[in-house]
């Protein structure tokens, strides 16, 4: 029995080391000021909630994608969004297609913007934490101060979320 205990202890220690390694790995991702929001793993593979276009001066094409909790909430019309919902908006400069005159397409990537629902942690901002990233790095605190004020002023009645699901 002692030998089995030792083996189990060794396995548990190994597992702990691996999980700690993963956790430390995650912690290396830079966190947004104020909210501590990070770019979520794998978001580039998430399903589409909706595209959007933003006029000048930003002049961008955008796509908002959601994690499984977000997609379920949209499709089952669950509001407020449950804790754990994550929305990510990818944005690119809006440029003329070289191949087809009526079309315009993504140019250089600009920002990636994240909303994370955690009703306790972000109770002061309607349950949402915000992160805005350029090239994987969060922008400054002043920019992050603008996020919630705009959402609260315009779409408080939709749980602070602008984007509607595109059918």
Q: Figure out which of the listed residues 82, 83, 104, 125 binds a second copy, where binding follows CB under 8 A.
A: 104
Rg (CA), the chain: 20
Residue 136 sits in the site that holds a second copy (CB under 8 A)? no
User: What span, in angstroms and rounded, lies between the C-alpha atoms of 88 and 32?
Assistant: 14
Nearest to 63 by CA among 42, 49, 83: 49
User: What span, in angstroms and rounded, lies between the C-alpha atoms of 134 and 91?
Assistant: 10
Residue 139 sits in the site that holds a second copy (CB under 8 A)? no
Q: Which is nearer to a second copy, 50 or 121 (CB)?
A: 50
Backbone φ and ψ for 143, nearest 5 degrees, come out as -65, -40
Residue 26 sits in the site that holds a second copy (CB under 8 A)? no
* Interface size with a second copy, residues (CB under 8 A): 38
Q: Which stretch binds a second copy (CB under 8 A): 11-19, 28-36, 94-102, 121-129?
A: 94-102
Give the contacts of 92 (CB within 8 A, at least 6 positions apart): 60, 61, 62, 106, 107, 108, 109, 110
Distance in angstroms between the alpha carbons of the first and the last residue of the chain:
60
Residue 12 sits in the site that holds a second copy (CB under 8 A)? no
Residue 156 sits in the site that holds a second copy (CB under 8 A)? no
Q: Figure out which of the listed residues 7, 10, 12, 109 binds a second copy, where binding follows CB under 8 A.
A: 109
User: What span, in angstroms and rounded, lies between the C-alpha atoms of 116 and 118?
Assistant: 6
**Contact letters (x/-) for a second copy, 39-78, by CB under 8 A?**
-----xxxxx-xxxxxxx-x--xxx-x-----x-------
Residues that bind a second copy (CB under 8 A): 44-48, 50-56, 58, 61-63, 65, 71, 90, 92, 94, 97, 99-100, 102-106, 108-109, 154-155, 162-164, 166-167
């Amino acid at each position: 029995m002692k030998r089995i205990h030792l083996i189990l202890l060794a396995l548990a220690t190994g597992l702990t080391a691996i999980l700690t390694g993963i956790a430390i790995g995650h912690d290396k991702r830079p966190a947004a000021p104020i909210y501590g929001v990070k770019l979520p793993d794998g978001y580039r593979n998430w399903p589409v909630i909706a595209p959007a276009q933003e006029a000048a001066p930003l002049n961008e094409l955008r796509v908002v994608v959601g994690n499984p909790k977000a997609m379920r909430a949209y499709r089952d019309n669950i509001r407020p969004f449950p804790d754990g919902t994550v929305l990510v908006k990818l944005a690119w400069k809006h440029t003329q297609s070289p191949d087809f005159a009526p079309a315009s397409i993504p140019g250089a990537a600009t920002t990636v913007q994240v909303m994370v629902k955690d009703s306790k942690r972000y109770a002061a901002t309607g349950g949402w934490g915000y992160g805005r990233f350029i090239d994987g790095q969060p922008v400054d605190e002043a920019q992050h101060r603008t996020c919630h004020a705009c959402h609260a002023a315009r779409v408080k009645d939709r749980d602070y979320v602008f984007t509607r699901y595109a059918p």
